[in-house]
């Protein structure tokens, strides 16, 4: 794994803090660079944990309430996390649990309690998501309790903050300046999981440091059959704007219970890899599933297979990658990386090497999706962890100098010792200090 996501919808901050500490300890002890992504709760409304997954039958009347019942919740009562729930819903609204797993119609409001009748039966899974619809469209709710989590993320120096239910670029810009004002450089990932985020996709991604295709909620907000096309579009826009993109949710859902995936799940994972997304994310499979390590192994083997198909078949796709740099110096870096990646494919080199202080040049190489591994060397551990999210990069931290000769020799020894390269391998090295391209054989 490259990144550990902690979902603030679940558990306490103390619990998450302990998870972060454990990941950090493993990084120290084993030399890993697993980054931490804190996923905010967002404007999501969800039910409490009812214990198990009670089934709801057609015509039954259930009560949704914001009251806290300590252990003696009345029968057919569902707790809801959002305090303004009873004020915001209206009689006649349609309530969708998990995007349609169960449907209710609101029939009566009594103080903090909302009575609903089931119109489409199903199961109530723990902390299931709730959306409500009025006159055929989604009723919107603005809900903000994320700031405390964001302060927590800053205090813990997480590497990424993923913002749920982003509606516009303003939210991202606001959060980025909040983070910068606290002398932090946490990267901000926009979760695309609402209709508004699709409408304002380009501006949102431009403002962000990356995006997540959050298919769970997205599938509850747009018709399910539109999710694959939305995924394709988000992945493409991110690549064009040089932002890492994560495909998330239900990739291997059946592996929560079973040790092998369904054929359909394998096809879904393959498609996400074929689209050349940067990262695949597990949720329930690793948070509470029976086979978290097996699920990760499946992601890995399917990814390796598809990437081998890209490499062996020399499928180098002809995606037009527009210029993203604004300064002349950025434009030079971009041209260098585009050329280096093209040379790497044409000359069939064994690896690309990139020496980069900020990580930018590594991301530009990754964006070209070349047919060989990219070893990225950077001077900072936090840049190293962040690069771990991006396609094809194998990042290392290394104090390096302006003397490329000595940098090359040190990194050759480092990678030879790990069996990652060998004498005679053909490599291309680029650096953002010298803005150079070198082609050479490993001595």
Ligand X SMILES: Nc1ncnc2c1ncn2[C@@H]1O[C@H](COP(=O)(O)OP(=O)(O)OP(=O)(O)O)[C@@H](O)[C@H]1O
* Interface with ligand CC(=O)C(=O)O (CB under 6 A): 164, 191, 193, 214-217, 248-249, 283
Q: Does residue 139 sit in helix, strand or coil? A: coil
CA distance 342 to 248: 30
> Shortest CA distance to 217 belongs to which of 412, 14, 43, 404?
43
Both tokens of residue 124? 């109530």
- Out of 99, 210, 284, 392, which residue is the one contacting ligand X (CB under 6 A)? 284
At its nearest, how many Å lie between ligand X and the CB of residue 215? 8
At its nearest, how many Å lie between ligand X and the CB of residue 41? 7
Residue 22, Cβ neighbours under 10 Å: how many?
A: 11
DSSP-assigned letter for residue 253: G
Q: Verify binding: residue 350, ligand X, rule CB under 6 A.
A: no
At its nearest, how many Å lie between K ion and the CB of residue 214? 8
| Residue number, 9 or 117, with CB nearest to ligand X | 9
Q: Which does 249 bind (CB under 5 to 8 A by kind): K ion, Mg ion, ligand CC(=O)C(=O)O, none?
A: ligand CC(=O)C(=O)O
| Residue number, 217 or 278, with CB nearest to ligand CC(=O)C(=O)O | 217
Question: Do 114 and 87 form a contact (C-beta atoms < 8 A)?
Answer: no
* Alpha carbon 13 to its chain's center: 20
Q: Which does 261 bind (CB under 5 to 8 A by kind): Mg ion, ligand X, ligand CC(=O)C(=O)O, none?
A: none
Q: Verify binding: residue 39, K ion, rule CB under 5 A.
A: yes
Q: Verify binding: residue 81, ligand X, rule CB under 6 A.
A: no
Q: For the range 280-283, what are the long-range contacts, defined as Cβ-Cβ under 8 Å and sequence gap of 24 or more?
A: 280/246, 280/247, 280/248, 280/251, 281/5, 281/212, 281/246, 281/247, 281/248, 281/249, 281/251, 282/251, 282/252, 283/5, 283/7, 283/216, 283/248, 283/249, 283/250
| Residue number, 39 or 432, with CB nearest to K ion | 39
> Which residues ranging from 352 to 371 are in contact with ligand X (CB under 6 A)?
none
CA distance 37 to 19: 12
Using CB under 5 A, count the residues that bind K ion. Answer: 4
CA distances from 341 to 58, 143, 241 (A): 58, 45, 17
At its nearest, how many Å lie between ligand X and the CB of residue 210? 15
CA distances from 121 to 100, 132, 216, 252, 356 (A): 9, 16, 20, 25, 55
Could you give the string, one character per residue 190-209, with x where binding to Mg ion holds by CB under 5 A and - elsewhere?
A: ---x----------------
Among the candidate windows 2-10, 231-239, 264-272, 366-374, which touches K ion by CB under 5 A? 2-10
Q: How big is the CA angle at 375 (ends 373 and 379), to the nearest 5 degrees? A: 160
Q: Verify binding: residue 127, ligand X, rule CB under 6 A.
A: yes
Q: Verify binding: residue 139, K ion, rule CB under 5 A.
A: no
At its nearest, how many Å lie between ligand CC(=O)C(=O)O and the CB of residue 249? 3
Both tokens of residue 223? 């018709």
- Out of 214, 337, 361, 368, which residue is the one contacting Mg ion (CB under 5 A)? 214
Q: Does residue 292 sit in helix, strand or coil? A: helix
Rg over CA atoms, the chain: 24
Q: Which does 221 bind (CB under 5 to 8 A by kind): ligand CC(=O)C(=O)O, Mg ion, ligand X, none?
A: none
Q: Which residues sit at the interface with Mg ion, rule CB under 5 A? A: 193, 214, 216-217
Q: Which residues sit at the interface with ligand X, rule CB under 6 A? A: 7, 9-11, 39, 44, 125-127, 216-217, 249, 283-284, 287-288
């Amino acid at each position: 794994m490259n990144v550990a996501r902690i979902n603030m919808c679940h558990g306490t901050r103390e619990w998450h803090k302990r998870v972060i500490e454990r990941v950090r300890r493993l990084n120290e002890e084993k030399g890993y660079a697993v980054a931490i992504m804190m996923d905010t709760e967002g404007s999501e409304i969800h039910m409490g944990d009812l214990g198990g997954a009670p089934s709801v039958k057609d015509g039954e009347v259930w009560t949704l309430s914001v009251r806290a019942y300590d252990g003696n919740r009345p029968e057919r009562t569902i707790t809801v996390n959002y305090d303004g729930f009873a004020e915001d819903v209206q009689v006649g609204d349609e309530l969708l649990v998990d995007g349609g797993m169960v449907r209710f119609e609101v029939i009566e409001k009594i103080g903090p309690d909302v009575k609903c009748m089931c119109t489409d039966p199903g199961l109530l899974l723990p902390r299931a998501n709730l959306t409500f619809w009025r006159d055929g469209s989604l009723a919107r709710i603005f809900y903000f309790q994320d700031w405390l989590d964001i302060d927590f993320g800053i205090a813990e120096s997480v590497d990424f903050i993923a913002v749920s239910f982003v509606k516009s670029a303003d939210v991202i810009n606001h959060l980025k300046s909040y983070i910068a004002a606290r002398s932090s450089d946490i990267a901000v990932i926009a979760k695309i999981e609402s209709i508004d985020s699709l409408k304002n996709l380009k501006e949102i991604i431009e403002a962000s440091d990356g995006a997540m295709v959050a298919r769970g909620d997205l599938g509850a907000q747009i018709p399910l059959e539109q999710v694959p096309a939305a995924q394709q579009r988000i992945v493409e826009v991110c690549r064009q704007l040089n932002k890492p993109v994560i495909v998330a949710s239900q990739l291997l859902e059946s592996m929560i219970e079973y040790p092998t995936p369904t054929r359909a799940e394998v096809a879904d994972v393959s498609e996400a890899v074929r689209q050349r997304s940067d990262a695949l994310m597990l949720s329930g499979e690793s948070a509470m599933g029976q086979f978290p390590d097996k699920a990760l192994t499946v992601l890995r083997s399917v990814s390796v297979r598809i990437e081998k198909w890209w490499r062996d078949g020399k499928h180098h796709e002809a995606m037009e990658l527009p210029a993203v740099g604004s300064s002349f110096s950025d434009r030079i870096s971009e041209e260098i990386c585009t050329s280096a990646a093209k040379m790497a494919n044409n000359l069939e080199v064994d690896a690309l090497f990139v020496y980069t202080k900020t990580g930018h040049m590594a991301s530009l190489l990754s964006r070209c999706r070349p047919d060989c591994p990219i070893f990225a060397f950077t001077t900072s551990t936090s840049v190293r962890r962040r690069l771990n999210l991006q396609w094809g990069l194998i990042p290392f931290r290394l104090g390096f100098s302006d003397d490329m000769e000595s940098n090359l020799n040190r990194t050759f020894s480092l990678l030879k010792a790990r069996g990652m390269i060998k004498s005679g391998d053909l490599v291309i090295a680029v650096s953002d200090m010298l803005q150079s391209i070198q082609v050479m054989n490993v001595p």
